[in-house]
Amino acid sequence: MPVSEFTLIYRFFSALGRGEAVDLSVGDDCAILRLDAGERLATSVDTMVEGVHFPADTFPEDIGYRAVSAAASDLAAMGARPLGMTLALTLPAADELWLHAFSQGIAAAVAEYQLPLVGGDTTRGPLTITVQVLGALPMDRALLRGGAQAGDGVYVSGSLGDAAAALAVLDGEWLPPPDQVEYLLDRFNRPHARIALGRELLGLASAAIDISDGLLADAGHIAAASGARLRIEPALLPLSPALRGHTSPEQARQWALTGGDDYELCFCLPPGVEPPAGCTLVGRVEPGSGVDCGLDMPAAAGYQHF
Ligand code: ADP
Ligand code: MG
């Protein structure tokens, strides 16, 4: 990109780079982050492409916020302490208004997750946002997908299916009352990575994953990694008032079981361990393999790009 455009981007993003673990932020060849003694680095990267991961008319604030939340959700799922992130941005044009709004969304997420933006890369092309997150874990602990044991309870945070319902609203397939439209769109556009919950679960949960592809698909990853079966009870699924108000309970249940983009956590707790507030028991771990929800529902593999 020409220098003037780069200056623009630098102006929007260079103020978001301060943090507890940041020794050197945007402006040099690398950022330098500090790990405490006895810690190791957890890292993950996620890409969002316009028209694939969000509709083309999504507000730029929401695009920025959601891209960071989706990436930060992987830190939550590991129980990691956020250190910082980098942002690889591909833009069709250096539109100052767009960039301003986008950077506001990024800034909101930086503040919420204490996840400073310490570097990145900027190129021209179809709108694509890639966020790499960096977090710290104790040397001896992490929330992995493997580790669930027969007898453990299966839990989820928050409510499920809201983001999938929001897409149905956007597609004109469902028209709930206005306040619930607002609630659902907010759940799609402004998902909250469960960072605090993940850190609370570290050392408590036997397995964990964030729900990005739908409960059945993501619970399937825990089952596969743990060598166990996860039995999910559809009647126990936590539904928001918006979904409980749907005229078809079957549709609401299907969104909760197979809808992606909620970024809640699914985790397993050994018997006798109390779940944190805001979490709901949805099933049990059993000997066997796969996920069984007692319904004839394709155990959706999640969104497949290829
Ligand atoms: P280099 O040529 O060394 O890769 P760049 O010109 O790509 O450097 O970037 C210069 C500085 O600006 C670097 O510190 C880089 O991390 C930062 N930077 C570039 N693009 C972004 C972005 N989209 N968000 C945050 N920081 C960025
Ligand atoms: Mg570069």
Are 168 and 258 within one domain? yes
Please, what is the angle between helix 249-258 and helix 162-170, to 10°? 110
Q: How many domains does the chain have?
A: 2
Nearest-CA residue for atom 7 of ligand 1: 121
Looking up tokens 């990575």 gives 193
My answer on whether 40 and 128 are in the same domain is: yes
Take atom 8 of ligand 1 and give the residue whose Cα is closest.
29
Nearest CA to ligand 1 atom 18: 120
pLDDT for 3 equals: 58
pLDDT at residue 301 is higher than 60: no
In a domain, 144, yes or no: no
Least Cα distance to 86 among 53, 52, 48, 115 occurs for 115
Per residue in 84-135, pLDDT (tens digit) is 999 999 999 989 999 999 999 999 999 999 999 999 999 999 999 999 999 9
Cα of 146 vs centre of ligand 1, distance in Å, is 36
Tokens 């990024």 sit on residue: 106
Q: Is the CB of residue 194 less than 8 Å from the CB of residue 112? A: no
pLDDT band at 7 (very low <50, low <70, confident <90, very high): confident
The Cβ-side half-sphere exposure at 180, using a 13 Å CA radius, reads 16
Shared domain for 134 and 13, answered yes or no, is yes
Q: Read off the pLDDT band of 2 (50, 70, 90).
A: low
More confident residue, 12 or 234: 234
CA dist., res. 182 & res. 176, Å (int): 10
Which of 39, 43, 76, 42 minimizes the C-alpha distance to 208?
76
Last residue in a domain, options 114, 138, 162: 138
DSSP state at residue 275: P
| Structure tokens that stand for 292 in this block | 């069984």
- Residue 104 Cα to ligand 1 middle (Å): 18
Q: Angle at Cα 222 formed by Cα 218 and Cα 226, nearest 5°?
A: 165
Residues 97 and 205 reside in one and the same domain: no
- Same domain? For 168 and 270 the reply is yes
The answer as to whether 44 is a domain residue is yes
Q: What is the CATH number of the domain that holds 95?
A: 3.30.1330.10
Rounded to whole angstroms, what are the CA distances from 293 to 197, 220, 253, 259? 25, 11, 11, 15
The model's pTM is 0.94
Q: Does residue 178 share a domain with residue 103? A: no
Same domain, 86 and 158: no
Q: Do residues 207 and 99 both lie within one domain? A: no
Tell me, yes or no, whether 303 lies in a domain: no
pLDDT higher than threshold 90 for residue 196: yes
Separation CA 15–CA 17 (nearest Å): 6
Angle at 54 (CA atoms; ends 155, 69), nearest 5 degrees? 45
Are residues 97 and 172 located together in one domain of the fold?
A: no
Note down the domain range covering 57: 5-138
What's the confidence (pLDDT) of residue 294?
93
Q: Indicate whether 297 belongs to any domain.
A: no
Q: What CATH code is carried by the domain that includes residue 256?
A: 3.90.650.10
Q: Is residue 301 part of a domain?
A: no
Phi, psi of 44 (to 5 degrees): -155, 155
**Residue 117 and residue 205 in one domain:** no
Written as one string, the DSSP assignment of 94-122 is --HHHHHHHHHHHHHHHHHHT--EEEEEE
Give tens-digit pLDDT for 245-290. 998 999 999 999 999 999 999 999 999 999 999 999 999 999 999 9
Q: Is residue 189 part of a domain?
A: yes
Atom of ligand 1 nearest to the CA of 89: 23
Ligand 2 midpoint to CA 28 (Å) = 10
CA distance 110 to 106: 6
Same domain, 160 and 288: yes
Q: Are residues 164 and 265 in the same domain?
A: yes
